Amino acid sequence: MSPVFPPLREELQGIEPYGAPQLSLEQAPVQLNVNENPYGPSPEATADIARAVGEAAVSLNRYPDREFVELRTALAAYLDTSGGTGVTAEMVWAANGSNEVMLQLLQAFGGPGRVALSFAPTYSMYPEYARDTMTEWVAGHRAEDFSLDLDAARQLVLERQPSVVLLPSPNNPTGTALPPEAVTMLCEAAASYEPGGLVVVDEAYGEFRRAGTPSALELLPRHRNLVVTRTMSKAFALAGARLGYLAADPAICDAIRVVRLPYHLSAVTQATALAALRHAPELLGRVDDLRAERDETVTWLREQGFEVADSDANFVLFGRFADRHAVWQGLVDRGVLIRETGPDGWLRVSVGTPDEMAAFRQALLDTIDTTEEPA
Ligand SMILES: *Cc1c(COP(=O)(O)O)cnc(C)c1O
């Protein structure tokens, strides 16, 4: 017998890498599977980004600013105008996507002998950060309507004393936003034991919240163990640039500097993000259209008799299907790619342009005709 090759960590052997199927535009012209903004950056933003990257290219022989002070200052200014009053550059940290930001949080605050905790169904990357940092993973459960039972959640935190609690708001894949009292209650619970835990509110979809749903950014001054993560991948229409960030107590940002790789944010990324932030109003300009399209999609799906989760995000979880894979495949066969994710029987569709959503509705009706009724 030859030894196992390559000599992978035992707990990683046989595991498929995470990732939604990526089909070409010929295979699936309507791509509604990874919650991207369907509207690309404006011509003005594109030109400014190209110019900024051109300027950065002149000094690519040099390492970039390791502390990316200019970008942190610009991100703080952006947050200051969008719910995060008083956020300063020392309170901001960024990396290549908010996935990297959260991995860095687990590298710094998780680890062997420590616990990371969330409530399922939730983002499938969270247990992977825990696995990769050898942090114990604990998953509580959401209620039938995907909301959090606050007393049970608090109880679980007190019992397991996690070092990091990961709470997406709105949640992926359900679209459920957290009420501010949930964040407050869990921050207080996680501050009540030694040495305490961080509560990370992942607001990747924060900009799509319905009116009246506040951002956890507003609670930052009250809880020093609160971390709010954001990304330029979704509402900001910049998934390809890979830029995510957080706002938190400056001591938390300082601690992450211990685990980050040297010069992790390239000069090209920094220039791209800075240029994009100068065009924030344009890049975010379609968010209201997408929220309206989302609400119409929820209404239409309910009219067809589907079960639909309330959504504060740019996607909708709907079901339930006895054979969801057959429905997913039926849509792919008709050129529409959505996501097979979430609890058994449910599917998730990202909100696209009106034309894309019309194609989705037609493909779904045709598919259901030939496969099944909602279970
Ligand atoms: C898309 C998404 C992110 C953002 O990922 P990036 O790495 O910033 O592209 C973070 N959290 C959740 C729950 C997401 O769905």
Q: Which helix (H) or strand (E) holds 348?
A: strand 347-350
Q: Which helix (H) or strand (E) holds 104?
A: helix 98-109
246 and 328 together in one domain: no
Domain total of the chain: 2
Written as one string, the DSSP assignment of 187-238 is HHHHTSSSS--EEEEE-TTGGGPPTT---GGGGGGG-TTEEEEEESSSTTS-
Round to whole Å and give the CA distance between 1 and 63.
Answer: 47
Evaluate: CB of 99 within 6 angstroms of ligand 1.
yes
Contact 290, 32 (CB under 8 A): no
Q: Which of 310, 125, 282, 274 is nearest to 202 (CA)?
A: 125
Is residue 359 situated within a structural domain?
yes
294 and 210 together in one domain: no
87 and 218 together in one domain: yes
53 and 160 together in one domain: yes
241 and 196 together in one domain: yes
Evaluate: CB of 231 within 6 angstroms of ligand 1.
yes
Torsion sign (Cα): 76, 77, 83, 88: positive
Is residue 261 situated within a structural domain?
yes
Contact 95, 68 (CB under 8 A): no
254 and 300 together in one domain: no
Give 98 Cα–ligand 1 centroid separation in angstroms: 6
Give 37 Cα–ligand 1 centroid separation in angstroms: 13
Q: Which of 18, 100, 123, 146 to mutate to test the pocket of ligand 1 (most atoms within 8 A of CB)?
A: 123
Q: What does DSSP assign to residue 179?
A: P
Give 67 Cα–ligand 1 centroid separation in angstroms: 23
Q: Which helix (H) or strand (E) holds 337?
A: strand 336-337
Going by CA atoms, what residue is nearest to atom 2 of ligand 1?
204
Contact 104, 84 (CB under 8 A): no
264 and 342 together in one domain: no
Going by CA atoms, what residue is nearest to atom 10 of ligand 1?
204
Give 203 Cα–ligand 1 centroid separation in angstroms: 9
Give 205 Cα–ligand 1 centroid separation in angstroms: 8
Is residue 375 situated within a structural domain?
no
Contact 33, 337 (CB under 8 A): yes
Give 110 Cα–ligand 1 centroid separation in angstroms: 20
300 and 210 together in one domain: no
Contact 343, 375 (CB under 8 A): no
Is residue 149 situated within a structural domain?
yes
Evaluate: CB of 293 within 6 angstroms of ligand 1.
no
238: CB partners within 8 A, 6+ apart: 41, 232, 272, 273, 276, 283
Using the atom order of ligand 1, give the atom closest to the CA of residue 123.
13
The pLDDT tens digits of the residues spanning 336-348 come to 999 999 999 999 9
273: CB partners within 8 A, 6+ apart: 71, 74, 75, 94, 232, 238, 241, 243
Q: Which of 79, 82, 133 is nearest to 245 (CA)?
A: 79
Evaluate: CB of 97 within 6 angstroms of ligand 1.
yes
Contact 234, 207 (CB under 8 A): yes
202 and 302 together in one domain: no
At which of 242, 259, 280 does a domain end?
Answer: 280
175 and 243 together in one domain: yes
Written as one string, the DSSP assignment of 115-155 is EEEEEES--TTHHHHHHHTTPEEEEEE--TTS---HHHHHH
At which of 255, 280, 305 does a domain end?
Answer: 280
Q: What is the CATH number of the domain that holds 340?
A: 3.90.1150.10
Q: Which helix (H) or strand (E) holds 92?
A: strand 92-95
At which of 215, 247, 280 does a domain end?
Answer: 280
Q: What does DSSP assign to residue 364?
A: H
275 and 297 together in one domain: no
Which residues of the chain have a pLDDT value below 50?
none
Evaluate: CB of 172 within 6 angstroms of ligand 1.
yes
35 and 73 together in one domain: no
pLDDT at 2: 62
Evaluate: CB of 311 within 6 angstroms of ligand 1.
no
Is residue 309 situated within a structural domain?
yes
pTM for the full model?
0.96
Is residue 164 situated within a structural domain?
yes
Domain membership of residue 55 as a residue range: 43-280
Is residue 307 situated within a structural domain?
yes
Is residue 3 situated within a structural domain?
no
Q: What is the CATH number of the domain that holds 186?
A: 3.40.640.10
Give 94 Cα–ligand 1 centroid separation in angstroms: 13
Q: What does DSSP assign to residue 108?
A: H
